[in-house]
Amino acid sequence: MNSTDFSSLKLRSDLLQNLKSLAYTEMTPVQALSLPDILEGKDVIGQGKTGSGKTAAFGLGLLERLDVQRLRIQALVLCPTRELADQVAKEIRKLARSIHNIKVLTLCGGMPFGPQAGSLDHGAHIIIGTPGRIEDHLKRGTLKLNNVHTLVLDEADRMLEMGFQDTLETIIKQTPEHRQTLLFSATFPKQIKKIANSIMLDPVMVKAPSLHDNSIIKQHFYTTSDPYRLTALRLLLQHYRSESTVIFCNTKKETQQVADALIEN
């Protein structure tokens, strides 16, 4: 048995069995580095790039501690956006497939409030949501966090960038002091260290090594403006002729315009 085998962990057998059925054959570096401490109940700060498998690191931790017989909110995961909350919920549901009757609920803005309050009324074990909407539910009294034993801040750096610091503090104050706190972030600005110090107890720091050497990635920056932007994009694509390309735009509308223009070309 080597140290990247999930079976080297003190995980329930149904969770281990399910990992096999998901074809998770071994732990990713961030999982191998953080899961032993997470499963011991320690507070952990995890740093790892996108795609490094951070969700399963905290997901397995909170599922291992979860008592499905108690229909109380036992774990809260805070994410910066609805899209990220949905992704986390999907992964946690996958990891929890072997636990019958487990209730995982997402609470995000942009969705009607009433049905969320209704679902909360029926009870849930795990809440995954965005800070604004979670705070709303707390204010209206539709959500209680006094049974939470695991609190997760996912993509903490982005939540702070989006100005959620005060909201996070308000939410965290309503969770029990005796809880496990797990914080994941791609970067570690001072602001994160400060918040970590105030909400965590002797956190263990874990940093997953990069999957590639940063020096092999070249970055170029071009300034352009309308009406030349689309032409510039087309010329760059023609110049580099890469096998695949990802283009990020500011808005849904712009994304469509860029896609239409490229298709036409």
Applying CB under 6 A, which residues contact ligand ADP?
A: 24, 27-28, 31, 48, 50-56, 91
Q: Closest CB to ligand ADP among 5 and 67?
A: 5
Residue 227 Cβ, how far from Mg ion at the closest point, in Å?
37
Residue 65 zone, left/alpha/beta (φ > 0; ψ -120 to 50; rest): alpha
When CB distances are held under 5 to 8 angstroms depending on the partner's kind, the choice from ligand ADP, Mg ion, none that residue 64 binds is none
Distance of closest approach, residue 158 Cβ to ligand ADP, in angstroms: 12
User: How would you list the strands of the sheet with 150-153, edge to edge?
Assistant: 104-107, 126-129, 75-78, 150-153, 180-185, 44-47, 204-207
Contact 151, 172 (CB under 8 A): yes
Q: What are residue 217's phi and psi, to 5 degrees?
A: -95, 125
Query: C-alpha 237: how far from its chain's center?
Result: 32
Which residue minimizes CB distance to ligand ADP?
A: 55
Which CA distances in Å does 25 have to 8, 48, 49, 57, 261?
Answer: 12, 20, 20, 14, 43
Beta strands 204-207; 180-185: pairing state: unpaired
Residue 69: alpha-carbon gap to chain centroid: 26
- The least CB distance from residue 23 to ligand ADP, in Å, is 7
Q: Which of ligand ADP, Mg ion, none sits in contact with 250, Cβ below 5 to 8 A by type?
A: none
CB of 83 to ligand ADP, least distance (A): 12
For ligand ADP, give the closer residue by CB, 94 or 229: 94
Rounded distance between C-alpha atoms, residue 84 and residue 92, angstroms: 12
Give least dist CB 207 to Mg ion, A: 15
Which of Mg ion, ligand ADP, none has residue 185 at its interface (CB below 5 to 8 Å by kind)?
none
Q: Which is nearer to Mg ion, 88 or 171 (CB)?
A: 88
**Residue nearest Mg ion, Cβ-based:** 54
Q: Which does 18 bind (CB under 5 to 8 A by kind): Mg ion, ligand ADP, none?
A: none
Site residues (vs Mg ion, CB under 5 A): 54
Q: Which is nearer to ligand ADP, 207 or 229 (CB)?
A: 207
Q: Which of 64, 91 has the CB closer to Mg ion?
A: 91
Give the H or E element holding residue 205: strand 204-207
Which is closer to Mg ion, CB of 42 or CB of 54?
54
Distance CA 202, CA 206 (A): 13
